[in-house]
Amino acid sequence: MTQIRLYNNFNFKLHWGVIAISSAGSYFTLVALPWLALGLSKNNPLVVTTLLACSSLPQGFAILFGGGLADRFSAYQTLWLSRAALALALFSLALLTATTVFPLWILYLYAFGLGCLASIATPASQALLPRIVETNDLPKANGVVVTTFQLSQLVGPIAAGWTIWFIKHVRGVPDEQTDTISFAIAFGIEAAALVLATALLSLMRLKPAVQQKGDLVQLIREGIRFCWRDTGIRMVLGYLLLISFFVQGTLLASLPLFTKFNLGLSERAYGTLYGMLGCGTILGAGLAAWLRPAARILGGVVLGCDLTVGLALYSLSRSHSPWTAGAALVLMGIGLGLTAVAGVSWFQLRTPGEYMGRVMSMLMFAVFGMIPISATLTGYLASHFSVSAVMRGASAVIVTFTLIGLSIRSIREMGAAPQPEVEPVFEPESLTALAEPSKGE
């Protein structure tokens, strides 16, 4: 019954399509940007990792403003405007890459700007979902959304890597040389995907959103205070902030370096390996949607998944072939996917509707906010030691923290911590965003 109701929801189907198109397109830039930087910097690992850190830097502050904007104005308007601006920025980057020889510092400016726009869109997209589906449908809807993200992570990087390689092959450019035309086309493909996604988003019909009063900074402060007062949310966010520092940034910065220097492979192999991570995350998301772990065991499930991720990262650092590296990435993806679906559903069900955008931004900050520091540190260490040694060090820290967490009952049961007295989590009129004549919020 839930499945039928969900798939008959017109707004959800549009939201689903927007996510599928925009997330698949995003991997064209994710693959092209570090590989272009490698070519322009003559294989300097510090340049690549600092560029990736620059694109992730907005996740340390812009993502918080994205949640505040979603609550102050509307998740729909925030998402639409950020997607449209991102498409324009990528079209200009594609033209610049195709027509001129530009200094490396311009690539840093684009990386930062694209990161800002993506960071604003992320919490708005998460906050929109509870407004267009009913409460009982949220776990299923999150499973569908996360699975779609990970299908994109499987298809997008592989398509991007092979597209860049194919264009270079057709143009007769050797693998060891940088072909700016192939990268320009990759940026243009993501821009076109975002134009299509924005057009689909325009078809969504929603009731007017209840806008929160107060200035943006005040709303963000209120969101932070809400998260701090809720013991469960505070513990989960703190744990995610700690673990993600050693997982997200390390993996983002080390995988292209590991692929090129340790395995001696090209951009198409990098895209394929990144796709293996997405393949594992799909399996993990499906497992989470099937198991639907209760709040009282959620902490133990998350700790177990992170322990698996740490061990898989160690296995990846010891890999000498794409097959063993791919298997390790699939295992990492399973742990990350299960945690993502179960965790996001827990946050959405626990959070009052008027705080949804800000709490989602805090969650995104906990997962991705430390990437700039982590990625830069990874690049610095990789320039002095081997990439494999850096990965092994990060895996040792992850395993140690998760084992300590499993030994402490309050951390194992952090998902079941009592909630403070607040207004009802969901107001009936905000749950079922059925078709209305107006198209804006």
pLDDT in tens, 153-195: 778 778 888 888 888 888 877 766 777 888 889 999 999 999 9
Between CA 388 and CA 377 the distance in angstroms is 14
Domain for residue 435, yes or no? no
Count of domains for the chain? 1
The pTM is what?
0.63
Please determine, for residue 300, whether its predicted confidence score (pLDDT) is greater than 60: yes
Residue 347 lies in a domain: yes
130 neighbors 426 (Cβ within 8 angstroms) = yes
Please tell me the distance from the alpha carbon of residue 128 to that of residue 122, in angstroms, as a whole number.
10
Q: What's the pLDDT tens digit per position in 8-24?
A: 788 888 888 888 888 88
Length of the chain: 441
Note whether 340 and 307 are within 8 A (CB). Answer: no
pLDDT score, position 23: 84
Averaged pLDDT, 253-268: 79
Say how far apart CA 96 and CA 102 lie, in whole Å. Answer: 8
Domain that holds residue 51: 2-420
Q: Render pLDDT for 335-389 as a digit per residue (tens, 0 to 9).
A: 888 887 777 777 777 777 777 777 877 887 777 777 777 877 887 888 788 888 8
State the CATH number of the domain containing residue 83: 1.20.1250.20
Does some domain include residue 113?
yes
- For 184-207, how does the pLDDT look when each residue is reduced to its tens digit (9 = 90+)? 899 999 999 999 999 988 888 776
Residue 176 neighbours by CB under 8 Å, 6+ apart:
none
Is the pLDDT score of 149 beyond 70?
A: yes
Residue 428 located in a structural domain: no
425 in a structural domain = no
pLDDT of 91 > 90? The answer is: yes
